[in-house]
Structure 1
Amino acid sequence: MPVTMIFGALVAGMTAEGAGAVAFPVMTLVLHLDPTIARDFSLMGQSIGMMSSLVCVIFMKVKFEAMAVLFGIAGAIPGFIFGVHFFDPLFTGAQKKMMFVSIWTAFAFALGLLNAQKKRPTFVKIPEFCFWKGFILFVTGIVGGVFDAFAGSGIDICMFSIVTLLFRVSEKTATPTTMILKGVVSVFGFWYRGVMMGDISETAWKYFAVTIPVVATMAPIGSFLGSHLHRQVIAALIYILEIASLTGFLLTNPSWWLISIAVAIILFGFGFFTLVAKFGEVLMRKSEDNDLKIDLKMIA
């Protein structure tokens, strides 16, 4: 696991995905551990690694979207509590593996949509922030919190997708934003599972003990490297990671029913992210039209 988390912590520091995006598939698909153990370990590791990256972000004075962090946390906390008590128990281990792979593959498609838009205009922060935008961020936080409840990761990719595709915020701002959000939610999830529920397995604690030095060191290094690497390079790493996860899932010989559901989730996710991107283009044009009207009034 320390070797796995070297790569996982680097990915967490560089991209919008937490270390759980690496740890969860390795622990469930390769080591064949229970998804609950993988979820808890992901939260525990990210509570150290992502908070270490947070120190790096503050030290380097990296810009982030404060509203996305605040509204995301406000939604993710109740979302996690609901998910861990009511959503997570509904599914078997195989179904959780399937959902993890499907959702993250859909995210890879979303990232592909984003990178396919050459020289697209972006914002440093969400433009013309208002009530409905805050509400969308809050709902995104709830959905991400539910994903965190069964996979140990989710709030990061949910918020990254909405902030970049819908509100057209630059990846340079969105990535540290999701990093901060992931760190805070992971700390809460770790505390809630360990203190309020008190049923984190001994296996998760043992894996956590041997990976603390790794995640505490490699995640900030990942943040530093991510600030210097081209976004296409980072995107390529994510594509490779998702292909590996999808391949690993198929190698476990899932039933045709699970494969069919996985394909349906991926297609639905792709369609959803496409619609979000299209609506984002509409918002961008409206924002540009408003700016033009303001400029004309100033000239007049």
Structure 2
Amino acid sequence: MRNKMSILMITLAASLWGIIAIFVKQLTDIGFTPMEIVAIRVSFAFIILFWIGISSFKNQLKIKTKDIPVFAGSGIVSIVFFNWCYFTTINQMNLSLAVILLYTAPAMVVVFSRILFKEKLTKQKMVAVIGTLLGCIFITGIGSSSTEDLTMIGLITGLGSGLGYALYSIFGKIALEKYKPFTITFYTFLMATIFLLPLTSLWEKADLLFQIDTLLWALGLGLLPTVIAYFFYTKGLEKIESSKAAIIATVEPIVATLLGVVLYQEGMGLVQMIGTGLIFSSVIIVNITKKKKHQLTLENTTKV
């Protein structure tokens, strides 16, 4: 039951990440740059977490000084680095290629988890990783875009975005050995905020930032695809391997694609449907196969 709840939490987190385009589009139209939007995202997330923390989780706000590097890792090396690389990649090449490079993350998590946490490198995981990567390729419609858009800088930053994306699962898993999900989420966004605010000089756009519509969209961005999403994902990591969590989280591009179809009248053809099926199949493979094997083992043991 706990494993099922973890799968559900990670799926919900990925689904919330998938709706981020709604907020990004609105804030872009208002006049903010991509990195300023990231700064808005992390700073408003921290404000929300701070309010929740002092009112309900004061006992979870204490950390040891020696553990600060772990939170700097999740906040700066993961979230800030991932966003910078991803936005740089988007400016360097076709969006479809950028998304595909981003979703090399599950493969990276599988490798890191094997080295750091001794998680088993099973055939099911390898099949699932390949399936999710192929699914992302189909969903983004890579067949209709030219690989001539691929640049060396774009390739490096694209793989960097996948690395940064993957590292949250790793730092999160390490932090969970000592701290609760709320503590990890709180200090992750504190570190990201401390790093990003001076970098973006967001206060120079205070006139735009403190308009009512901006504040509403910023709060929505900070709460739904950020605070709630990262809390669910971190909570899910408590009871599930980080390699599996990364594979499950690839439902994010499915939600983003469906959102584009419903809200922005973007097309979804047979190729995208195949991609969706591949990702869902990969999620099922990595979570169901092991359970079936376990049941078969129990049955054989009972027969003996």
TM range (shorter): 0.3 to 0.5
Greater C-alpha Rg: 2
- TM superposition score normalised by structure 2: 0.40
- TM superposition score normalised by structure 1: 0.40
* Higher relative contact order, chain-length normalized (CA < 8 Å, sep 6+): 2
